Amino acid sequence: MFYKMEEGIHMTIVDLLDRNARLYPEEEALVEINPENHPSRTTTWREYNLIETAEGEKYRRAITWRQFEQKANQAANLLLTRGIKRGDKVAILLMNSLEWLPIYFGILKTGALAVPMNYRYTAEEIQYCLELSDSTTLIYGPEFTDRVAQIQGNVRGLSTIFFVGKDIPSGAEDFCQYLTYCSKTAPAIELKEEDEAAIYFSSGTTGFPKAILHIHKALINSARTEQAHHGQTRNDVFLCIPPLYHTGAKMHWFGSLLSGSRSVLLRGVSPEWILQTVSQEKATIVWLLVPWAQDILDAIDRGELQLEKYRLSQWRLMHIGAQPVPPSLIKRWMQIFPHHQYDTNYGLSESIGPGCVHLGVENISKVGAIGIPGYLWEAKVLDSTGGQVPMGEVGELCVRGPGVMQCYYKNPTATKEILRDGWLWTGDMARCDEDGFIYLVDRKKDVIITGGENIYPVQIEDFLRSSEKIKDAAVIGLPDDRLGEIAAAVIELKPGCTATEAEIDMFCQELPRYKRPRKIIFANIPRNPTGKIEKPKLRSIYCSGSLVEAQTTK
């Protein structure tokens, strides 16, 4: 059965949850698979009506659509007893779990704004984002007890702190216990598409994050876009591994919400866990980040994974987003999994996550491109004056559609820089081919200018990753008195492989001379939870006197 929402119908994401609870009350909606943590799991609803089973070394919890809605309603009613009202901000600081999405929907049901927070934030960053977003309430889990304790009592405007788990810390209220006293009936609060819904945070690669404001219309249209691209039906099972605080994971899941299909949250990224979960949960759609896909291929190459041990025939789609995708990786993937459909999804939090540009499962011949404008989206490649660049030339990618943010919250200057006449200037440099397919060249701020020539690191990184010895690569600019900057390649080798600078230099002879890295550094590549290379971290290391030491690390 394929459920498609007509464009003219005005609904919110909350309406979709209510509809699924009404139509499919006893069917599983969400499953949590926790491969390692079940003996000491501390996040729980503390109710016996949840389906909880131990399978080997895994721990499995599940809730039905009816339970999902009831938990969201209880969360909403609990927040209302604490004075939360329309327009207030409620922050979520939780690891992926069965509790995450019902809490998110509970916040929305009050008319308040949900404020998801990055689980890697330091105490200082947590305080900064709480104050920037004007959050009055924080809901957090046991993994963050120490960080919250450092700032407790010092956050301007924060009046209520809820803890989701056992062993309640001092100064926090027991969210799960209070929840059991609250009505399972939805509060009578009307939501409209134009109402403010959520504040997400930018990745903070240029300093502290910016707060990105979205309305309900953006959320519901992300569901439309996702299902239009990947055709979710009620028979699909979506395996979600990336963090739910990020727009990418949640907006891909919205396709499952729209179709009323089951989703699985996997707390772990090892290749064995991923394939085991695909097999046991009969997953049909899996969204991977580049490092995880590469790890799966490497484990297969080393003989650590035998595909015949898993049930994988139902797996129909693998898609990747959140960072540039090396074409060599996808070509290798299609050799191992020739029956898979594949899609690349491009987006950013300012455009409510992935989908404003996508490759399309029918365009596998264009692997390497990020694709064409997504469903309900427009895209252009423009020069600095706003003029469209000729085919093949590099400009800045700009997008327009129903998922563009309202603004950077409380930052009109930054908003004006990125939003112009309804177009979102992404900061990504791109080019178009003769068929209208867009190729990502690099982030505007990552472009290296050496001797007057522009070098786009992504092009060099893709080339380096085509080596059989190289697992990952990052190219950054280092200061140079003569050329202004030179390209330095930070290279992470595959396990068991060795290489010298001379070998890498020889491999790079296929590149034009000006694109060849002038420095070779063997080191691990840091990536954030959504798979993006943390280039500011690399620059801080290798532009501050640590270069010589790093070069000796083979």
C-alpha span between 128 and 212 (Å, rounded): 14
Q: 45-54, 137-146, 488-497 — which is least confidently predicted? A: 45-54
Confidence band of 434 (pLDDT split at 50, 70, 90): very high
Report whether pLDDT(321) > 70: yes
Confidence band of 529 (pLDDT split at 50, 70, 90): low
Comparing 511 with 58, the larger pLDDT belongs to 511
Comparing 8 with 34, the larger pLDDT belongs to 34
CATH class label, 447-551: alpha beta
Confidence band of 545 (pLDDT split at 50, 70, 90): very low
Comparing 44 with 333, the larger pLDDT belongs to 333
Mean pLDDT of 320-339: 84
- The model's pLDDT over 237-292, given as tens digits with 9 standing for 90+, comes to 999 998 999 888 888 999 999 999 999 999 988 999 999 999 999 999 999 988 78
**What is residue 121's predicted lDDT score, i.e. its pLDDT?**
86
Mean pLDDT of 153-171: 93
**What is residue 542's predicted lDDT score, i.e. its pLDDT?**
82
Confidence band of 554 (pLDDT split at 50, 70, 90): very low
Alpha helices in 143-198 (DSSP H): 145-151, 175-179
Comparing 87 with 456, the larger pLDDT belongs to 87
C-alpha span between 405 and 75 (Å, rounded): 26
- What proportion of the chain, given as a percentage, has pLDDT over 70? 88
Q: Burial, 279: exposed, middle or buried (Cβ in 10 Å; 0-12, 13-18, 19+)?
A: middle
Report whether pLDDT(58) > 70: no
**What is residue 495's predicted lDDT score, i.e. its pLDDT?**
87
Fold agreement (13-240, 447-551): no
Task: With both helix axes pointing from N to C terminus, report the angle between 65-81 and 13-23 in degrees, rounded to the nearest 10.
Answer: 130
Name residue 212's beta-bridge partners.
200, 408
Length, in residues, of the chain = 554
**What is residue 483's predicted lDDT score, i.e. its pLDDT?**
66
Report whether pLDDT(546) > 50: no
**What is residue 266's predicted lDDT score, i.e. its pLDDT?**
94
Mean pLDDT of 70-93: 97
72: phi then psi, degrees, rounded to nearest 5:
-65, -40
Report whether pLDDT(549) > 90: no
Q: What rounded mean pLDDT belongs to the chain?
A: 87
* Closest-CA residue to 271 (of 288, 285, 284): 288
**What is residue 175's predicted lDDT score, i.e. its pLDDT?**
95
CATH class label, 13-240: alpha beta
Residues 6+ apart with CB under 8 A from 77: 182, 183, 185, 187
3-state SS string for 240-258: ECCCCCCHHHHHHHHHHHH
Confidence band of 84 (pLDDT split at 50, 70, 90): very high
Order of strands across the sheet with 484-493? 470-480, 484-493, 519-522
Give the domain ranges of the chain. 13-240, 447-551
C-alpha span between 164 and 61 (Å, rounded): 16
C-alpha span between 256 and 279 (Å, rounded): 19
Report whether pLDDT(406) > 90: yes
Report whether pLDDT(228) > 70: yes
- What is the distance, to the nearest Å, from the Cα of residue 92 to the centroid of all Cα atoms in its chain? 16
